[in-house]
Amino acid sequence: MKKYAIDIKWGFIFIAVTLLWMVLERLLGFHDQNIELHTIVTNLFFFPAVAVYVFGIRDKKKNFYQDEMTYFRGFKTGLIMTLVVTVFSPLTQILTVEVITPHYFSNMINFVVESGKMTQIQAEQYFNLKNYTLQTLVFSPLMGLVTAAVVAVFFKEKK
């Protein structure tokens, strides 16, 4: 278990960064008065997400592999980070919509219905905890795998 401590630590750092991003979105009004910009702003999370993977894999390379890392080792580090993020994604989602921004779903439903993007029924079927939790259980591992695969390329030893 000790050999995975760095990977697990960075998985939890990713979760913390995700929750901080949600707090920032809420404080800046992207879950209520500026909700029309939410989709754009939430996609910007790509940058801190990739940065966490970069820092996590770099930490593992430097402090566990003494700067000698193969592609597979870097990818494996990213996979373990992804596993931590995925396992805790339902809890992260619950904390987001129940604690950080409890009116997000009702605000988003009102916005998409009033703007004519969805009907009331469509919006209620899409914007709810069950659907968002399912989405994160699918999206987290897919994006984590892709991110780990790409970031690991930059940390492998050059022969």
pLDDT at 2: 86
Which residues contact residue 57 at a Cβ distance below 8 angstroms, ignoring those fewer than 6 apart?
A: 69, 74, 77, 78, 148, 151, 152, 155
**Where are the chain's structural domains?**
2-153
pLDDT score of 159 more than 70: no
How far apart CA 74 and CA 60 sit, in angstroms, is 8
Q: Looking at residue 148, what is its pLDDT?
A: 97
pLDDT confidence of 31, banded at 50, 70, 90?
Answer: very high
Q: What is the pTM of this model?
A: 0.94
CA distance 88 to 151: 22
Whether the Cβ atoms of residue 14 and residue 48 lie closer than 8 Å to each other: no
Burial 23-52, CB ≥16 within 10 A → b, else e: eebbeeebbbeebeebeebeeeeeeebeeb
- As a whole number, mean pLDDT of residues 129-147 equals 96
The token pair at 49 is: 């997400």
For residue range 49-86, what is the model confidence (pLDDT) as tens digits? 999 999 999 999 999 988 889 999 999 999 999 999 99
